[in-house]
Structures are given as C-alpha cells and as structure tokens.
C-alpha cells in the first residue's frame, strides 16, 4: 500500500530531479502512476533524465534555478498548464561545493540560495495553491543529519540544512493549524547516500552507503506511517546510533558543554560511553 496521495494521475514536482535522490524519487512516483515534473538547472543531465523517464506527456523536465524566487512561480505555472494541479511537492535541490567559516562568499551564497532558500521559494510558490484546492497533498523537504548534529567541516551546508529542518517544522505546524487543510509536510533526513553530490571522484558505491533508490523506498514506507521525521539509516549507521548522536548534540545545550563537544578532546570518552548506552525507553 502506498500513501493515499501517491495515486495514479496525481501530479508530483521534484526539484533537483535530474540526478540522485530526486531522480530516484521521480522514478518511484512515475512507477506509482503519478504524472511527474522534474526541475533542475538546465543541463545535459536534465535532458537525459527526461529522456529516461519518457516524454509521454506524463513526465516533463522544467529547467529551474530554485535560488530564484520567480523561477519557482514559473515552474508552478508550467506544471499547472502541462500536467495539472500539483499534489506532491518534493523540495530536494541541493549543492555542496564545500565551505569554510571564512571561505568565499560565493560558496555560502550558492549553498544558502539553493539548499535553504530553494526550499522556501518552492513552498511559498506552490503550497498555497495546493491548500486552496482543498485536496490531500504532500510536501517533502530534503534535509540532512548535518543540519541536526552539525559536524565540523562544511558550515554553510550545515547552516542551510539546519534551516530546512526549522522551516519544515514550522511549515507542518502551520499546515496542521489551517482549517480544512489536508496538506502535510515531512522532513527527509538521508543517511550516507551515494550520489553525484557525495561521490567526490568515486565511481563505485562505498559499502557504507545506501543507494538513492534505497533512500526513496525508505521514504515511501515512512510516509505510509505518517512520519514527519524520515530519519534514514545506511549500511554503516543504524538508527540507534543516529539517535544517540542527536541526543548528545542536544545535550551540549542542556549540559552547558562546549559546542560540537562530540569532537572535543575533553569529551571523547564521555561521548563513546554515552553512545554505547542502550536506547532510552520512551512511553
């Protein structure tokens, strides 16, 4: 059984749909019978993705720069004209050029503009129309564990994905308090997924990584359960480990530890002991 919104003839829009998790999601939606629009920067990858999915009138590619607010309004207008009203919006587009606290402003602008503002722009352009229709709908925003535990090494990416988490939480709170609103928002939190974004020159999938298809399969199962936080494991890190890492990160505030204490030499042994504890019982 699939989520009731993921039904034949419904329309899905996937940003960042030319590759990786976005393309895997588009394939899965198409397999379920949805009409799919993939949006991505104009490129041969986008053309190839459209050719793979088939130019049958139920799949279309729309060149889109999600960092530009107007581009998302044009995307909505194009999809409404060609495919019909939108039932599923997956704000998934992302870049990861690498960053440093005092690194180039252009890298920060690119990451914040695409990874965070792209989600905001997509939501603000498309979701009001979804609400107005009065039909059930889904909004899926792709976050990251890096936006929750914020490990050192790529601060711009962490900041953007932390913003996606906060924005999506606020969005779901807003939607559930809208009278007669039948749209729900969900935060996809991938584990280590082998995609063009994470390959970094590798041509073969590392053993620890999941494929994009595994991630999307997990997402669909989570949507069936109604999960808001879609916390994906991978072949190296099970959910229990993620939970301990997330709890430890929150404990930096509660226990008044230094920020990112998991990577602080004074707390190395304390974190290892904490991570080895069994999962806390939840009533």
**Cβ partners under 8 Å of residue 106, min gap 6:** none
pLDDT given at position 278: 83
Structure tokens at 18: 């030319």
> How big, in percent rounded to 5, are the helix, strand and coil portions of the chain?
50, 15, 35
Sign of the Cα torsion 261, 259, 198, 185 reads positive
Q: Please report the pLDDT score of residue 195 as a whole number.
A: 81
Residue ranges with strand state E in 19-165: 35-40, 59-63, 88-91, 137-142
Q: Which of 29, 108, 157, 218 is catalytic?
A: 157
Sequence-separated (6 or more) residues with CB below 8 Å from residue 31 = none
H helix count then E strand count, the chain: 10, 7
Pairing of strands 88-91, 137-142: parallel
Domain boundaries, the chain: 11-237, 238-283
Residues 6+ apart with CB under 8 A from 225: none
Buried b / exposed e over 201-220, threshold 16 CB at 10 Å, is: eeeebeeebbbbebbbebbb
Question: What's the burial of 160, exposed, middle or buried (CB within 10 Å: 0-12/13-18/19+)?
Answer: buried
What phi and psi values does residue 191 have, to the nearest 5 degrees? -85, -145
Q: How far apart are CA 189 and CA 178, in angstroms?
A: 25
Residue 71: CB atoms within 10 A of its CB come to: 20
Q: Which of 170, 144, 65 is nearest to 109 (CA)?
A: 65
At 179 the three-state DSSP class reads coil
We find that the CATH architecture of domain 11-237 is 3-Layer(aba) Sandwich (3.40)
pLDDT at 204 (0 to 100): 83
If residue 270 lies in a helix (H) or strand (E), which one and from where to where?
helix 268-276
Provide the pLDDT for residue 200. Answer: 66
pLDDT given at position 282: 59
Q: In what order do the strands lie in the sheet with 183-189?
A: 59-63, 35-40, 11-15, 88-91, 137-142, 183-189, 229-231
Active site residue 229: no
Q: Name the token pair of 279.
A: 């999962």
Reading the chain (283 residues) residue by residue, the pLDDT tens digits are: 679 999 999 999 999 999 999 999 999 999 999 999 999 999 999 999 999 998 656 899 999 999 999 999 999 999 999 999 999 999 999 999 999 999 999 999 999 999 999 999 999 999 999 999 999 999 999 999 999 999 999 999 999 999 999 999 999 999 999 999 999 999 999 999 998 777 666 768 789 899 999 999 999 999 999 999 999 999 999 999 999 999 999 999 999 999 999 999 999 999 999 999 987 665 5
Question: What is the pLDDT at residue 199?
Answer: 63
């Amino acid at each position: 059984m699939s989520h009731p919104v993921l039904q034949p003839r419904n329309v899905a829009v996937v940003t960042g749909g030319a590759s990786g998790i976005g393309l895997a999601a588009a394939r899965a939606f198409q397999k379920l019978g949805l009409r799919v629009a993939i949006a991505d920067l104009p490129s041969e990858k986008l053309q190839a993705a459209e050719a793979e999915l088939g130019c049958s009138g139920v799949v279309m590619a729309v060149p889109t720069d999600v960092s530009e607010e107007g581009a998302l309004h044009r995307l909505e207008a194009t999809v409404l004209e060609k495919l019909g009203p939108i039932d599923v919006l997956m704000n998934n587009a992302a870049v990861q050029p690498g960053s440093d606290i005092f690194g180039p402003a252009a890298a920060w602008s690119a990451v914040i503009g695409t990874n965070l503002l792209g989600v905001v722009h997509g939501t603000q352009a498309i979701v009001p129309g979804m609400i107005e229709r009065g039909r059930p709908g889904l909004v899926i925003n792709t976050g990251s564990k890096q936006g929750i535990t914020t490990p050192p090494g790529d601060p711009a990416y962490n900041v953007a994905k932390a913003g996606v988490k906060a924005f999506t939480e606020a969005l779901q709170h807003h939607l559930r308090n809208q009278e007669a609103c039948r749209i729900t928002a969900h935060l996809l939190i991938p584990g280590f997924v082998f995609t063009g974004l994470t390959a970094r020159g590798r041509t073969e999938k590392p053993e620890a990584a999941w494929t994009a298809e595994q991630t999307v399969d997990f997402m669909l199962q989570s949507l069936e359960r109604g999960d808001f936080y879609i916390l994906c494991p991978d072949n190296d890190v099970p959910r229990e480990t993620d939970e301990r890492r997330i709890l430890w990160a929150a404990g930096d505030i509660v226990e008044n530890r230094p920020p990112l204490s998991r990577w602080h030499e004074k707390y190395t042994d304390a974190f290892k002991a904490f991570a080895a504890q069994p999962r806390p019982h939840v009533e």
